[in-house]
Amino acid sequence: MAKKKIVIIGGPSTGKTTIIEYLELIGENCLHEISRQVTLEAQQQGIDQLFLEDPLLFSQKLIDGRIKQYTDATKMSTSRIFFDRGIPDVIAYMNYINKSYPAEFMTACEKYRYDHVFLLPPWEDIHKTDNERYESFDQALRIHHHLYEAYNNFGYHCTEVPFGNIKERSDFILQNVL
């Protein structure tokens, strides 16, 4: 059973995926972000941006996928596992777009708890957009605020990861999960 569940959060283009890939490269157990997969599946069904067209359906798919990741992680025999985004991210994004959501979203956030939360701040120098990541830097700043607020509201202490190269940022995370 995985002992420590560590989630890396941040708005768009903050370096989460790059850090997860690096941690995996050096032998850490990591679970990848699923929102791109949900977006691509919707695009294959003719829905360009599911989050924009049906944010509740998109969010439900994320909650379901992240709960599955979490339960899969509990079955792993490893001392720790890193997640690229966590369940409360869904609440943060729904709050960001000012949309209501079912109480089960809150229940999931309360039930499936992480041991450490690392928050990557908005970083304009690395910010970029693409087919699945369409948010401007100003939007990324607002999302950052909602992420911090959502995790804080669930009683998490978010450790902010300083800017730096991938090794420096990853080392910071590893040194702070011991």
The tokens for 104 are 């089960």
Would you state the structure tokens that stand for residue 7, as one six-digit string?
Answer: 């989630």
| 1 pLDDT above the threshold of 60 | no
Residue 177 lies inside a defined structural domain of this protein: no
Does residue 178 lie within any of the structural domains? no
Is the pLDDT reported for residue 144 higher than 60? Answer: yes
**pLDDT surpasses 80 at 56:** yes
- Residue 146: inside a domain, yes or no? yes
The number of residues in the chain equals 178
Using the predicted structure, report yes or no on whether residue 50 has a pLDDT greater than 80: no
For residue 45, pLDDT over 90 is answered with no
Is 47 contained in some domain?
yes
Whether the CB-CB separation of 96 and 59 falls below 8 Å is answered with: no
User: Could you report the per-residue pLDDT of 58-83, keeping only the tens digit for each?
Assistant: 899 899 999 999 999 999 988 999 99
Residue 51 placed within a domain: yes
The DSSP code for 98 is: T
Q: Flag whether 86 is in a domain.
A: yes
Domain that holds residue 166: 4-172
**The CATH number of the domain where 113 resides is what?**
3.40.50.300
Name residues whose C-beta falls within 8 Å of residue 64's C-beta, 6 or more positions apart in sequence.
none
The structure tokens listed for 108 are 């999931």
Its pTM surpasses 0.85: yes
- pLDDT tens digits along 93-130: 999 999 999 999 999 999 999 999 999 998 766 656 55
Helices (H), 26-118: 35-44, 50-53, 55-74, 88-96, 103-111
**How high is the mean pLDDT of the chain?**
88
Q: Which amino acid is present at 33?
A: E
pLDDT, residue 58, reads 84
Q: Write down the pLDDT at residue 122.
A: 85
What confidence category does residue 39 fall into, taking pLDDT thresholds of 50, 70 and 90? confident
In the chain, the number of structural domains is 1
In a domain, 149, yes or no: yes
- pLDDT score at 37: 80
Is there a domain that residue 163 lies in? yes
Confidence of residue 51 (pLDDT cuts 50, 70, 90): low
